[in-house]
Amino acid sequence: MNTILKKIDKDNIDYSVMEMAGEILRRGEMVAFPTETVYGLGANALDESASAKIYEAKGRPSDNPLIVHISKEEQLEPLVKEIPEKARLLMEKFWPGPLTLIFKKKDTVPDGTTGGLDTVAIRMPDNAVALAMIDAAKVPIAAPSANTSGRPSPTTANHVMDDMNGRISMILDGGAVGIGIESTIVDVTGEIPMILRPGYINKSMLENVVGEVAIDKAILGPMDENSHPKAPGMKYKHYAPKADFTMYDGDIENVIKAINKRAKDYIDKGYTVGIICSDETRQRYQYGDVESIGTRQNEITISHNLYRILRDFDDKEVDYILGETFNTKELGGAIMNRLLKAAGYQVENV
């Protein structure tokens, strides 16, 4: 398959390209598009055979459900059994934006889109290109991140090309994304909203709107083989670079010492090493390929750079990645959540 790559200026959208994308989506084929979080791989959410193509292109396990993207609030009602009051409040405050809500689904949403669940994940992205594309398609768009399953999510159209060239019909290149990590997912089917995946919209931002909010315990640690997480995707390997990735946690002076020592050991043995640090510590590392994820003073820069750095190390084919931990404030939970998964929960306390 020939993948068409089209550059789109989000401030001056070429609607003839949007029409072309809409036409492709209505035909049941796939279009990758930018959002404010990461690039999505879109297909008609109401067409089971179209969503099946997403699983195939990504190599994604079929019980890992997709998020349905809409561009207008009136698209929600035909998809869900009810819209709880707390969901309405959250939508009013955060849509369009990086918040995905889980609803009880109507039969209009095929099982193939929700991995067989009787619930459906829905969000309205805050990106002009994404909204114009969904408008042009005239159908809700199922879209997981546009990466090969397991790899770091794509934050540029080039990342999407690396994983999806020849597998999908079209990529809309709207430039680098803003936030850089996936949306917050909140289950609003119960009395107390429950965070299933942390993201830019954090617990206290949610609590300011709807009062008490719970966090699914699967977010906090690795899933064991026998558990049944609420968000099926939680049990799969995610966001992972090809190299063996370990983080070092503790007093920063100890962390620097431990990483330098380990990097030297590996290099002496003939391995290549990538180091993930911050602007504040960059000058302190003596060995390997040192990449700063940004200043610790700006959490959005950190989330923006995270997947790019993991993919850069993949491109350079380093054998080992050694990293600092990033237990920062607002976004910290979300950043550490992605880093822990990328590292397969390998953390050394020093």
Binding site for ligand AMP (CB under 6 A): 64-65, 67, 102, 114, 117, 119-121, 144-145, 182, 185, 196-197, 230-231, 233-234
Residue with smaller CB distance to ligand AMP, 64 or 71: 64
CA dist 1 → 8, 57, 168, 240, 259 (Å): 22, 12, 7, 27, 44
Residues 252-263: b if buried by 16+ CB within 10 A, e if exposed: beebbebbbebb
Closest CA to 334 of 200, 230, 221: 200
Residue with smaller CB distance to ligand AMP, 62 or 165: 62
Q: How many chain residues touch Mg ion (CB under 5 A)? A: 2
Closest CA to 136 of 163, 170, 111, 166: 170
Q: CA angle at residue 113 from 104 to 2, to 5 degrees?
A: 155
Half-sphere exposure at residue 123, Cβ-oriented, CA atoms within 13 angstroms? 26
Considering only the stretches 76-84, 136-144, 191-199, 217-225, report the one whose residues sit in contact with Mg ion under the rule CB under 5 A.
136-144
Taking the complex as a whole, the smallest distance from the CB of residue 144 to Mg ion amounts, in Å, to 5
121 binds, among Mg ion, ligand AMP, none (CB under 5 to 8 A by kind): ligand AMP
Give the pairing of strands 347-349 and 320-324. Answer: unpaired
At 51, is the secondary structure helix, strand, or coil?
helix
Taking the complex as a whole, the smallest distance from the CB of residue 235 to ligand AMP amounts, in Å, to 9
Taking the complex as a whole, the smallest distance from the CB of residue 109 to ligand AMP amounts, in Å, to 9
Considering only the stretches 139-147, 185-193, 204-212, 322-330, report the one whose residues sit in contact with Mg ion under the rule CB under 5 A.
139-147
Question: Does residue 145 interact with Mg ion by CB under 5 A?
Answer: yes
Residue with smaller CB distance to ligand AMP, 65 or 180: 65
Taking the complex as a whole, the smallest distance from the CB of residue 145 to Mg ion amounts, in Å, to 3
Taking the complex as a whole, the smallest distance from the CB of residue 82 to Mg ion amounts, in Å, to 27
State the Rg of the chain over Cα: 20
Question: Are residues 57 and 168 in contact, defined by beta-carbon separation less than 8 angstroms?
Answer: yes
Residue with smaller CB distance to Mg ion, 234 or 277: 234
Spatial neighbors of 123 by CB under 8 A, at least 6 apart, are: 67, 68, 69, 70, 95, 97, 98, 99, 100, 101, 183
Residue with smaller CB distance to ligand AMP, 194 or 275: 194
Going residue by residue from 209 to 248, which x/- string records binding to Mg ion, judged by CB under 5 A?
----------------------------------------
Dig out the tokens for 294 from the structure.
């940004």
292 binds, among ligand AMP, Mg ion, none (CB under 5 to 8 A by kind): none
Residue with smaller CB distance to ligand AMP, 63 or 348: 63
Dig out the tokens for 86 from the structure.
């707390």
Closest CA to 186 of 155, 210, 221: 210
Helices 299-316 and 157-164 sit at what angle, rounded to 10 degrees? Answer: 40
Dig out the tokens for 179 from the structure.
């936030």
Taking the complex as a whole, the smallest distance from the CB of residue 38 to ligand AMP amounts, in Å, to 8
Taking the complex as a whole, the smallest distance from the CB of residue 142 to ligand AMP amounts, in Å, to 9
Residue with smaller CB distance to ligand AMP, 75 or 145: 145
Residue with smaller CB distance to ligand AMP, 22 or 199: 199
Taking the complex as a whole, the smallest distance from the CB of residue 95 to ligand AMP amounts, in Å, to 16
Spatial neighbors of 324 by CB under 8 A, at least 6 apart, are: 247, 248, 252, 255, 259, 276, 277, 278, 281
299 binds, among ligand AMP, Mg ion, none (CB under 5 to 8 A by kind): none
Point out which residues bind Mg ion (CB under 5 A). Answer: 144-145
